[in-house]
Every structure is written in structure tokens, then in C-alpha cells.
Amino acid sequence: MRGYVQVYTGNGKGKTTAALGLALRAAGAGLRVYIAQFAKSGEYSEINALKKYRGSITVRQYGRIWFINGDPDDDDIQAARKGLEKVKEAMCSGKYDVVILDEANIATRYRLLSVDELLAFIEAKPEHIELVITGRDADARIIERADLVTEMREIKHYFQRGIQARIGIEK
């Protein structure tokens, strides 16, 4: 089976959720999934749920979110770059069928990774691997290289009314 490059981007809610839905579908079909999260760390509800799929779904976090309101420091940049190297090793190992780079577009936006590094990663993808890249503000070159691009567009969001993220729904 040939694998493609999918990008889920846009300012609307649901990019990571769509990627995780694909991960569950793939695992249900017997495929092995590697999820790398950039600019995220810690325990989220979805991370807790995915622990039930150990053996089918592997999740690794390669970043911290604490800089989002400022600039990343060298530790943030090194974590992301080392993470991308580890994900490339995993992707090329023959152990996985689907690789998800969650928030990799954000990682390029904040210069944790360069767009050129992400493009080189895409080019290193073995033919059978399905690669999913999420995060708002996908660079035009990533969009051009992708086989499928979905834009989540915010039309209305209850956060604008001051409603905080809820456990099990947004976090």
C-alpha cells in the first residue's frame, strides 16, 4: 500500500483530533502508528486514552508549550530537533505504517524546526508510510508538497465567550 502526506491546518478546532481519529482507525485495521507531539508535553486526556493501545500506537512528546507566549529557548529548539531525528529513525525502522507529526506546523512557525528540515523529513518518508502533519499556519511549501490538505476554519467558538477548555472535550 502506498502512503501519502496529509496536512491538517487552519485556525479551527479539530486538527489533532482528526489525526488521532486516523490513528485509531489505522490501529483498528492492524497498522502500527507513531505519534510525535511537538510543542506539547504532559498528560492530556487523549494521551491517557492512547495508553490503552500500546503495541499499536506509540506516542512521544518532543517539546514544551511554555514558550508559546514568547520565544522558544535553546532547550525548546534542541528538544524539537532531536525529536525530529528520533521520529525519522522510527519512520525508517520498518516498525510503523502511520507517522503523525502533531503540531509540526507550529514548530516551524516558532522556528523550533525549519521548513527545510520538515521538507527533508517528508522526502525521507518510505513509500508505504502514511504521514500526517498537524498544526495551524502550515507553510505554503508544506501545503504544496502534501497529497491531501484539510483546513479547519473557525467560524464560531465558545472560547470567544470566555468558556475555558473542558476536560475530555478540549483537553
What are the residue boundaries of the structural domains of the chain, listed by start? 5-161
Task: Give the mean pLDDT of the chain.
Answer: 91
pLDDT band at residue 44 under the 50/70/90 scheme: confident
pLDDT above 80 for 55: yes
Which residues have CB under 8 Å from 79's CB, separation 6+? 62, 63, 64, 112
Percent of the chain with pLDDT over 90: 70
pLDDT above 60 for 67: no
pLDDT above 60 for 51: yes
The CATH class that applies to domain 5-161 reads: alpha beta
